[in-house]
Amino acid sequence: MKISKLGAIALFSATLAAMAGPASAETYRLSQNTSNTTTWQKGAEKFNELLGEATDGKMEVRIFPNAQLAGGDQMKQTEMVSRGSIDFMLTSAINVTPLVPELAVFSLPYLYSDYDAVDATTSGEPGQKIEEILKEHGIIALAWGENGFREVTNNVRPIKTPEDMQGLKMRVSGPMYIDVMQALGANPQQMQWSETFPALQQGVVDGQENPIGAVIIPQRVYEVQKYLTTWHYSYDPLFLGVSEKLWDSWDDQTKTTVEKAAEEAMEYQKEISREGTAKGVEFLREQGMDVYEPNAEEIDAFREATKPAFDTWSKKVGEDLVKSFQDTIAQSN
């Protein structure tokens, strides 16, 4: 069969297009813990967008919300990334503490007072130490994002003093928060986020604690909770991590490209999370929530009440590590 000159050119062009197009893209899987309405999802989408732009579409990230690849189990998700079964994950530090207890250092009760202190640790020596610890578990932390300062909501009463926490059934996300809630006299219930909204809806638990901009608003917690107290009792960073097995398979140029995309994506995610938090209290009031903003003296009462949990977890994560965080925070003030 003869092929005309024009036909041959068209066939050659089509072959080149197929080689350069989406079919030749390397697709990776990224698992994140929350729904597709959150700043977590938006940060993951930004990472995919930036990576695609930087590689002319040769690298693509498929995003799976609600820890779907691990059946909703956030600890299993971390283990799967560690083994190389999942390529990337965007998760909060506290969700990784069952596997890597040192990450609880970020969330020690009342360790931080503001964003400057947070940024000083994630961008400084303390953050580097945590990245080294994660690498020992087969995970490369590419960049730090933000879940934020965790605030408390419930359906029983306003929380103004530690005594107001007595007997409340509180959903928590990790083992450290179990100790914190017990120190306050509450009844903690550890459960996956995917189970939490229906548990709040059905009254299985009275309340929960999470950041405003990253979770309470985008996950519409205000639809099933009446009271909010902005007690800023614990901070929770996100990190975008990649399996060390996959990381080691790349050349230096690819590593640099991936890391740069991750850093830009997480800067974007932090920015929109903080914007959402800044506007969030007024929005939640408009939605009918009863918002209480404690003063410095009231915050000190919560700090004192949660000190036993702080001391317990300081020993678990390592007192030298805690001191490096405290020293960096002191220098940032």
Given CA atoms 111, 298, 273, 66 in this order, what sign does their dihedral have? positive
Per-residue confidence (pLDDT) for residue 75, from 0 to 100: 86
Q: What is the pLDDT of residue 107?
A: 94
**Rounded-to-integer distance, Cα 312 and Cα 326, Å:** 16
Read off the pLDDT of each residue in 297-305 and give the average, rounded to a whole number: 97
Q: Would you call 46 helix, strand, or coil by DSSP? A: helix
Tens digit of each residue's pLDDT (9 = 90 or more) over 65-102: 999 999 988 889 999 999 999 999 999 998 898 889 99
Strand partners, 30: 63, 88
| Rounded Cα–Cα distance for residues 87 and 96 (Å) | 16
Reduced to 3 states, what is the DSSP secondary structure of residue 19? helix
pLDDT value of residue 11: 46
Comparing CA positions, the residue from 208, 210, 226 lying closest to residue 218 is 210
Q: How far apart, in whole angstroms, are the C-alpha atoms of residue 122 and residue 146? A: 10
How much is the pLDDT for 1? 47
Q: What pLDDT, on a 0 to 100 scale, did the predictor assign at position 173?
A: 84
307-317 vs 296-305: helix axis angle to the nearest 10?
Answer: 60
- What span, in angstroms and rounded, lies between the C-alpha atoms of 174 and 142? 23
Beta strands in the chain (DSSP E): 26-32, 59-64, 88-92, 139-154, 169-172, 187-190, 207-211, 227-243, 290-292
Look up residue 217 and give its two tokens: 């608003």
Distance CA 72, CA 195 (A): 9
Q: CB of 155 within 8 A of CB of 225?
A: yes
Q: Please name the amino acid found at residue 16.
A: L
Question: What is the tens place of the pLDDT at every residue in 107-132?
Answer: 999 999 999 999 999 999 999 999 99
Q: Give the closest residue to 48 by CA, choosing from 239, 258, 270.
A: 258
Quote the DSSP letter at residue 25. Answer: P
- 262 vs 50: CA distance, rounded Å: 8
Do 142 and 257 contact (CB within 8 A), yes or no? no
pLDDT at position 25 is 84
State the first-to-last Cα distance of the chain, in angstroms, to the nearest integer: 79
pLDDT value of position 24: 67
What pLDDT, in 10s, does the model give residues 26-38?
A: 999 999 998 898 9
pLDDT on residue 326: 97
Q: Which of 69, 35, 31 is nearest to 47 (CA)?
A: 31
Strand, coil or helix: 264 = helix
Q: Residue 242 pLDDT more than 50? A: yes
Tokens of 262: 């991750």
Over range 270-278, report the average pLDDT: 93
Q: Are strands 227-243 and 88-92 parallel, antiparallel or unpaired?
A: antiparallel
* pLDDT band, very low/low/confident/very high, at 6 (cuts 50, 70, 90): very low
Tokens of 291: 């918002």
- CA-nearest of 233, 273, 237 to 151 is 233
Mean pLDDT of the chain: 92
Mean pLDDT for the stretch of residues 255-264: 98
Higher pLDDT, 59 or 6: 59
Interval 262-282 mean pLDDT = 95
Nearest to 111 by CA among 311, 320, 266: 311
pLDDT for 297: 97
DSSP 306-328: THHHHHHHHHHH-HHHHHHHHHH
